[in-house]
Structure 1
Amino acid sequence: MIGKIVTGKSFRGCLNYLHEGRLQETEEQQRQEMEKKQAQVIAYNQCFGNKKELIRQFIEVSKLNPKVSKPVFHLTVSLAHADAGKLNNQQKADIAASLAKEFEFDRNQYVVVTHADTQHEHLHIVANRIGYDGKTAGDSNSYKRVAETCRKMELAYKLEKVLSPNKFLAPEQRVAQSQRIDQRKEVLKQHLSKAIKQCRDVQQVKQYMEDRGYKVEQGRGIAFTDQQQVYFKGSQVGYSLQTIENKLKQEQQLKEQLKQQQQQQQKLALQRQQEQIREQKRDRSHGMHM
């Protein structure tokens, strides 16, 4: 189980994304995006209603402490492949409640949303950092606290154990960095490798990755955000913008070379065929004169 927490400014933006997915160019594409996500709210705390009603309620309570610029808590919890289907909705809601208690927003507004659009089963918890008393839930040491809670939940629900980051472990528990594999990075690298083999330019690579659920930011460099809202610079996985452009160029050159080789082989095969036909004609002509 992997947990990630971010704070944000907009309840509307966060809840719109969780319910409707990434903004698409047409209504039909947006409908398909929503169908793909299959968003389902499985738990409410101190709030209730449809998306618009939830947004309104969250915003109203956040005004109790207008000095807080980022009132949105967004936690994402992803299960390991081996744990797919192990937890029911009540158990997922209970895990969310444990996280809410750890981060001290268990008396605040929050909703728990599940998605069925990725290979990794996961859930989202959107909470209001501002309580009805106007007090603000803190987010200090968030990564460590999420990791510790995930380890407890793995034991409680007999889920596959995931290593905590080295810096949160005792020295004797630490694993050499070279022995640790970030599966999210590996999946991203696999997608990029396939994209480069199938695409002709960076824009096609961008579309390829977006079709697989990544948000792609391209400027002087390139970066990818996966469906668990984990952000990677391309250079972190060995695919900087320059590297992608170079690999695309190499791939196109290789394809052109293969094409030329195939054409040459076809040309030679045709020449051999024509030579065989000429030999057969010479043989028949020779036989007729004997």
Structure 2
Amino acid sequence: MVAKIKSGKSLIGALNYNENKVKQGKAMLIAAVKYPKDKELLSFNDKLFRLTDLAAMNQRAKTNTVHISLNFPNGEKLADEKLNEIVKDYLTGIGFATQPYLVYRHEDAGHPHCHIVTTNIKRDGERINLHYLGQNESEKTRKVIEIKYGLIKAEEQSPQKPDLKADMTVAAYGKAETKRAISNILSFALRAYKFTSVPELNAVLQQYHIQADRGAKDSRMYNREGLIYWVLDQQGNKVGVPIKACTIYGKPTLKSLEEKFRLNTQLRKPFKDGLIKILDQVLTKPQTKTSFQRELLKNDIQVILRQNDFGRVYGVTFIDQKNKIVFNGSDLGKAYSANQLSASLLPDLRGKVSRQQQSDDETAGTILRQTAAGGNELMDVLFAAEREDLAALNKFKRKKRKGFKL
């Protein structure tokens, strides 16, 4: 069993996440403990207010939400009753025995798991300490529960060997077991591509909706050189439960990757000049961001431009799909760095033109539909804007005259 604890400031956010899964048919509520009604009779507000009422007992506490997932390997067949007993024992072990909580069984991943929503604020306003909760109480409790219920121990779960014959398609959370999907894609990427950093590896993995993550720079995981892998959704957001690198077949940890980085630094050198030559040929003509990417794609070169909210390019990565080589722009030379490319590329107006064209097309479609209907409706459509302006002007004049009377 693997337990993941997330703390936060939004009880409604944690509840919404699970309730939306229920609406989508991907989860079901299997327990509502220390609630005044049976789970079937609870409304959304009933579920929420029971927790927020407790959270309100301590106005100073910024963190009042605890969202836990308990994850089990394939092969663990747990009935709702048994799963609820495991949840009860787990929460007792980590100090939440007196707290109300909701348990949702999720069916949106390739492995059995459940989510628990509760609060760390007690009835008397005292906070349950969350500091090192996962490292200390959770780990001890997990091991006790694995023995008590005869579960497969987390340490004894053997890494799954990747399927080398599997088609390389993007990962989709819930369609296959998360660890197996990550293992297959990662194995292919490590064998096929030559990259020299975690961001360059991610440029490859994100094509398949996977991301390697070292954590925040001030995090304990980052300082200990840890590494986890996530599945991403269509918008690039992390979903599900991350998988530790050390539990994946081949152990693609940061230490082993760094050895590969050093090797790839030498192996990709013969392809550098050829890539630069193609870039120079494309840049002989004025290019926008869109045309630059399009022209290079004709040469099997994918350009990943990382932009801020204002459209400024702050990072660029080139993936030579033909030779399976990855280069950060600055590694090719100053002229291909993000700053230089951002300065040389013309403003991309295509999006604005397309939106305007789409608007024009919609207007034209409206006129054609009204014409087909017959009568004077065509005139109504053509002069609708002018009539609105005239009505607004008359309204303004009436207000103005009224003002003079005062």
Q: Aligning the two structures, in what range does the TM-score lie when normalised by the shorter sequence?
A: 0.5 to 0.7
The TM-score with structure 1 as length reference comes to 0.59
- 1:126–1:245 Cα change, 3 Å: farther
AA partner of residue 232 (structure 2): Y
Measured after TM superposition, the shift of residue 54 of structure 1 is 1.2
Q: Distance in 2 between matches of 1:69 and 1:10?
A: 9
Q: Distance in 1 between matches of 2:146 and 2:18?
A: 25
Measured after TM superposition, the shift of residue 209 of structure 1 is 2.2
In structure 2, the gaps of 5 or more residues are 162-177, 193-201, 211-229, 246-251, 262-301, 305-316, 325-406
Residue 49 (structure 2) aligned to one of 56, 59, 73: 56
Tell me if structure 2 keeps the 8 A contact 1:4–1:76: yes
Q: Distance in 1 between matches of 2:303 and 2:52?
A: 44
- 1:156–1:16 Cα change, 3 Å: same
Matches within 5 A, 1:106-125: 106-125=97-116
- 1:191–1:101 Cα change, 3 Å: same
Q: Distance in 1 between matches of 2:16 and 2:58?
A: 23
Match of 1:157 in 2: 149
Q: Distance in 2 between matches of 1:139 and 1:4?
A: 13
State the superposition RMSD in angstroms.
4.4
Measured after TM superposition, the shift of residue 213 of structure 1 is 5.6
Match of 2:119 in 1: 128
SS at match of 2:89: helix
Tell me if structure 1 keeps the 8 A contact 2:182–2:231: no
User: Once the two structures are superposed, what CA deviation does each residue of 1:59-92 show, in whole Å capped at 9, x if it has no partner?
Assistant: 2220111111111111111001232x2x211111
Measured after TM superposition, the shift of residue 208 of structure 1 is 4.7
1:148 equivalent to 2:136? Answer: no
Tell me if structure 2 keeps the 8 A contact 1:6–1:75: yes
1:46 equivalent to 2:34? Answer: yes
Residue 182 (structure 2) aligned to one of 174, 177, 188: 188
Tell me if structure 2 keeps the 8 A contact 1:65–1:135: yes
SS at match of 2:241: coil
Match of 1:272 in 2: none
Measured after TM superposition, the shift of residue 214 of structure 1 is 2.8
Q: Distance in 2 between matches of 1:73 and 1:192?
A: 32
Match of 1:228 in 2: 241
AA partner of residue 140 (structure 2): E
Tell me if structure 1 keeps the 8 A contact 2:54–2:122: yes
Q: Distance in 2 between matches of 1:156 and 1:116?
A: 25
SS at match of 1:138: coil
Measured after TM superposition, the shift of residue 206 of structure 1 is 4.8
Q: Distance in 2 between matches of 1:58 and 1:209?
A: 35
The TM-score with structure 2 as length reference comes to 0.44
Identity %: 20
Tell me if structure 2 keeps the 8 A contact 1:108–1:128: yes
AA partner of residue 20 (structure 1): N
Matches within 5 A, 1:158-177: 158-163=150-155
Measured after TM superposition, the shift of residue 207 of structure 1 is 7.5
Measured after TM superposition, the shift of residue 204 of structure 1 is 10
Q: Distance in 2 between matches of 1:13 and 1:106?
A: 23
Match of 1:99 in 2: 90
Match of 2:320 in 1: 250
AA partner of residue 238 (structure 2): T
Q: Distance in 1 between matches of 2:186 and 2:4?
A: 23
Tell me if structure 1 keeps the 8 A contact 2:185–2:205: no
Measured after TM superposition, the shift of residue 55 of structure 1 is 1.7
1:2 equivalent to 2:2? Answer: yes
- 1:230–1:245 Cα change, 3 Å: farther
User: Once the two structures are superposed, what CA deviation does each residue of 1:170-199 show, in whole Å capped at 9, x if it has no partner?
Assistant: xxxxxxxxxx969977743534566999xx
Matched residues, number: 216
Match of 1:265 in 2: none
Greater than 2 Å deviation, 4+ residue runs = 50-53, 180-197, 202-210, 212-218, 228-232, 234-240, 244-254
Tell me if structure 1 keeps the 8 A contact 2:160–2:180: yes
Measured after TM superposition, the shift of residue 121 of structure 1 is 0.5
- 1:46–1:229 Cα change, 3 Å: farther
Q: Distance in 2 between matches of 1:58 and 1:215?
A: 29
User: Once the two structures are superposed, what CA deviation does each residue of 1:73-117 show, in whole Å capped at 9, x if it has no partner?
Assistant: 11111001232x2x2111111111112212222211211111011
Tell me if structure 2 keeps the 8 A contact 1:105–1:131: no
Q: Distance in 2 between matches of 1:216 and 1:195?
A: 20
Matches within 5 A, 1:65-76: 65-76=58-69
Tell me if structure 1 keeps the 8 A contact 2:94–2:141: no
